[in-house]
C-alpha cells in the first residue's frame, strides 16, 4: 500500500524563483523538514542557508548549474558546480547546452556533462542533467539520454520549469526507453498536484521537482486517511497520456 512517506521521498522541494527572500527560503526548508522530502532544490546563492537549515536531517541540499538556459561556457558551469559543492550541495541539477544539442554537437554536450559528473562524483554528489525537452525532438531527447548514460549521470531531468512546457508523460516514456538501467528520471515543470506526481511515478520517475510540495503532501495525507492513496493504474495513465496537450 502506498504511503505519504513514499511520496515525500520522491519530491525535490523546488525554490528557484528569482524573487524569493531569505525568509521564504528558510520557510521552504521547514516545509521539506516537515514532510521529509528527498531534497531542497534552491538557487546557488541560497546553498549556505539551505545546508545549515537541513543539517542533520538526511534531506539533501540541491542546486542548479547553468540555469535556466544552459548556455554559459563549460568552464563556468564547472566553476558553478565546484562552488556549489564547496558550499555543501550534495545534488546538482545542470542544464545542457540546448543549442549545441539541437545542432548535433554531441561531443560538446558530452564533455561538459562528463566534467560536471566527474567533479560531483569525487565528492559523492548526485548529478541530474536537465534536457529541457520542450525544445528538443524525440530523437534529440533519446540521444541526450544516451549521452547522459555514457557520462555517468545519475538522473536525466525533463525540464527547468521555465521553458515552453514542463514534464510530459510522452517524454517520460521516451526517456525511460533511452537511458541505461542505472540512470533514473526526474520530472519537473508542472508537477502541481498529487495526481500528476503519481502519474510521473507510474511512468518510472524516481524524483519530481515541485514547488507545490505542501499541497501535494496534504492531499497525500488526506487520501491516506480516507484509504484512497494508491498508485495509478495503466488505464488511468493511458487516459492522462491521451489527454496531454502541448
**Under DSSP, is residue 208 helix (H, G, I), strand (E, B) or coil?**
strand
Q: Is 93 a catalytic residue?
A: yes
Q: Which of 77, 128, 157, 168 is catalytic?
A: 157
* Residue-level length of the chain: 246
Q: Which of 46, 93, 154, 171 is catalytic?
A: 93
| Cα distance between residue 197 and residue 156, in whole Å | 17
| Cα distance between residue 179 and residue 101, in whole Å | 17
Name the E strands within the chain. Answer: 11-15, 39-42, 60-65, 91-95, 126-130, 155-157, 184-188, 207-210
- Geometric angle at alpha carbon 36, from 32 and 37, rounded to 5°: 65
Q: For residues 151 and 112, is the Cβ–Cβ distance under 8 A?
A: no
- What are the backbone angles phi and psi of residue 207, rounded to the nearest 5°? -135, 155
Q: Give the bridge partners for 130, in sequence order.
A: 95, 157
Q: Give the bridge partners for 155, in sequence order.
A: 128, 184
| Helix (H), strand (E), coil (C) string for 175-188 | HHHHCCCCCEEEEE
| Cα distance between residue 160 and residue 94, in whole Å | 9
- Residues marked as catalytic: 93, 157, 186
Amino acid at each position: 500500500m502506498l504511503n505519504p512517506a513514499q511520496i515525500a521521498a520522491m519530491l525535490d522541494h523546488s525554490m528557484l524563483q528569482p524573487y524569493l527572500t531569505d525568509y521564504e527560503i528558510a520557510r521552504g526548508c521547514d516545509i521539506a523538514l516537515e514532510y521529509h522530502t528527498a531534497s531542497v532544490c534552491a538557487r546557488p546563492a541560497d546553498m549556505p542557508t539551505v545546508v545549515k537549515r537541513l543539517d542533520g536531517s538526511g534531506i539533501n541540499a540541491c542546486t542548479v548549474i547553468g540555469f535556466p538556459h544552459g548556455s554559459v561556457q563549460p568552464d563556468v558551469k564547472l566553476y558553478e558546480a565546484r562552488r556549489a559543492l564547496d558550499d555543501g550541495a550534495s545534488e546538482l541539477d545542470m542544464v545542457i547546452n540546448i543549442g549545441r544539442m539541437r545542432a548535433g554537437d554531441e561531443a560538446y554536450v558530452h564533455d561538459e556533462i562528463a566534467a560536471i559528473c566527474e567533479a560531483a562524483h569525487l565528492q559523492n554528489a548526485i548529478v541530474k542533467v536537465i534536457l529541457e525537452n520542450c525544445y528538443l525532438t524525440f530523437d534529440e531527447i533519446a540521444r541526450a539520454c544516451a549521452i547522459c548514460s555514457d557520462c555517468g549521470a545519475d538522473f536525466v531531468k525533463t525540464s527547468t520549469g521555465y521553458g515552453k512546457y514542463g514534464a510530459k508523460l510522452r517524454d517520460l516514456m521516451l526517456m525511460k526507453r533511452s537511458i541505461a538501467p542505472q540512470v533514473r528520471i526526474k520530472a519537473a515543470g508542472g508537477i502541481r498536484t498529487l495526481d500528476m506526481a503519481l502519474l510521473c511515478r507510474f511512468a518510472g520517475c524516481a524524483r519530481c521537482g515541485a514547488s507545490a510540495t505542501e499541497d501535494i503532501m496534504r492531499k497525500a495525507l488526506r487520501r491516506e486517511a480516507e484509504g484512497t492513496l494508491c498508485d495509478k493504474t495503466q488505464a488511468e495513465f493511458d487516459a492522462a497520456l491521451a489527454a496531454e496537450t502541448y
